Amino acid sequence: MTAAVLDRAPAVALAERRPPLTRLTVLEIRKSLSTRSGRTLAGTAAVLPAAGVAVLFALGQEIPGAAPMLSLLGTLVAMLMLAVGVLATAGEWTHRTVQTTFLTVPRRSRVLLAKYGGMALLGAGIAAVVVGSTFAVAAVGAGSGFSWDGAGVAVLATIAGGAAMTVVGAGIGAAVANAPAALTGTYLLLLVVMNVLHGVRPTWAEKVDPLAATYELIGRDAVGTARPVAILVGWVLVTTVAGAAVTRRRAIS
**Is the Cβ–Cβ distance between 69 and 153 less than 8 Å?**
no
SS3 251: coil
3-state secondary structure of 147: strand
pLDDT on residue 17: 58
* 61 or 129, greater pLDDT: 129
What is the rounded average pLDDT of the residues 224-251?
93
Other C-beta atoms closer than 10 Å to the C-beta of 3 total: 7
**Rounded-to-integer distance, Cα 241 and Cα 68, Å:** 33
Domain ranges of the chain: 20-249
Model-level pTM?
0.88
Main-chain dihedrals φ then ψ at residue 147, nearest 5 degrees:
-105, 135
CA 14 to chain centre: 33
Please tell me the distance from the alpha carbon of residue 44 to that of residue 193, in angstroms, as a whole number. Answer: 25
Predicted local distance difference test score (pLDDT) of residue 101: 87
**CA triplet 81, 87, 88: central angle to 5 degrees?**
90
Whole-number average pLDDT of the chain: 88
Q: Tens of pLDDT along 173-228?
A: 999 999 999 999 999 999 999 999 999 999 999 999 999 999 999 987 655 688 99
pLDDT digits (tens, 9 = 90+) for 11-34: 444 445 578 899 999 999 999 998
Q: Closest Cα partner for 116 from 177, 190, 168?
A: 168
